[in-house]
Amino acid sequence: MNLKEEITRLKKEKNAVILAHYYQDGAIQEVADFVGDSLGLSQQAVDAKADIIVFAGVHFMAETAKILNPLKRVVVPDLDAGCSLADSCPPDSFNEFIKSHPDHVVVTYVNCSAAIKAMTDIVCTSSNAIQIIESIPKEKPIIFAPDKNLGNYINKVTGREMLLWDGSCVVHEAFAIDKILTLLKENPEAKIIAHPESEEHILKIASFIGSTAGMIRYVKEHPEEKYIVATEVGILHEMQKEVPDTVLIPAPAQEDNTCACSECAFMKVNTLQKLYEALKNEAPLVEVPEDIRKEAVKPIERMLKLSV
């Protein structure tokens, strides 16, 4: 059976749409109707006319699509596609944290569970984080969760002193600065571009910092000879298509990482075979309890209003 053809046939028959993140395997990106970053994917989820959304990404992304589309079936290739960053913010402790700072505006990065979003005033993604924070009056204190690296970066750019939750992404904390510096010595013409979930010492040496979509846009507009790319390696699939003549080198990770480059093990539990089965069986379904969904949709809609 040709999986790609079968997926295309089933998609038409069931009026389904496939949304995929840039970190997904190239084969998955190739069958998707839309490939994008977290913001682009939630905007596509709002606009989806299909009856079924097949979400190839990690759980919090599919959950966001479900929160925005309670009447649609949202299926994922594998319910175990989690996220270390989302896991670093358990609802009970976060609830205590915000209760102990009642005067603070609560801003959360979209990489968190629906339960955390339900306690949030406004959500942001890596592509609109600065804009969202700047929309909040300067005198208001802010809690930012769960990513301390992104939070730190926003504090630097905006001059705010947001109170940060101590969470991080295993993938973006795995980059080996010594190996990157060696690579730079060997390739002095190369420029570094980095995702803001990376640690400060990586961001300091980057020529550009942005979301996955922002990084792709940047290399397209600045087609240098070589780039060292500090984010999950799946991005290279789309990026290389945009700049076929540019050399793209994935930023190396520390020795103990599962992959020599930074691969997100959560993203990679999804396969084309699992995606096909999810579409065929219309399962596993992503569900969000209605009481949580009703609260979680508000901060996401606030973000989407500010992101048009």
Q: Is 263 in the site for ligand 13P (CB under 6 A)?
A: no
Pairing between β-strand 247-250 and β-strand 16-21 as defined by DSSP bridges: unpaired
Determine the Cα–Cα distance for residues 264 and 253; give it in Å rounded to an integer: 12
Interaction residues for ligand 13P, span 209-228 (CB under 6 A): 211-212
Query: Which of the listed partners (ligand SF4, ligand 13P, none) does 170 bind, with a CB threshold of 5 to 8 Å by partner kind?
Result: ligand SF4
Q: Tokens at residue 63, please?
A: 């959950």
Q: Is 198 in the site for ligand 13P (CB under 6 A)?
A: no
- Least distance CB 29 / ligand SF4 (angstroms): 15
Exactly one of 113, 125, 149, 168 binds ligand 13P (CB under 6 A); that residue is: 125
Cα atoms in the Cβ-side hemisphere of radius 13 Å centred on 13: 10
Strands laid side by side in the 105-109 sheet: 122-124, 105-109, 142-145, 163-164
In the annotated binding site for iminosuccinate, the residues are 21, 38, 109-111, 126, 195-197, 212
Site string for ligand 13P, 100-119 (x = CB under 6 A): -----------x--------
In the annotated binding site, the residues are 21, 38, 83, 109-111, 126, 169, 195-197, 212, 264
Which residues have a Cβ under 8 Å from the Cβ of 16 and sit 6 or more positions away?
A: 10, 50, 51, 52, 53, 54, 279
Distance, first Cα to last Cα, the chain: 42
Only segment of 120-128, 133-141, 153-161, 274-282 that touches ligand 13P (CB under 6 A): 120-128
State the residues that interact with ligand 13P by CB under 6 A. Answer: 37-38, 111, 125-127, 169, 195, 197, 211-212
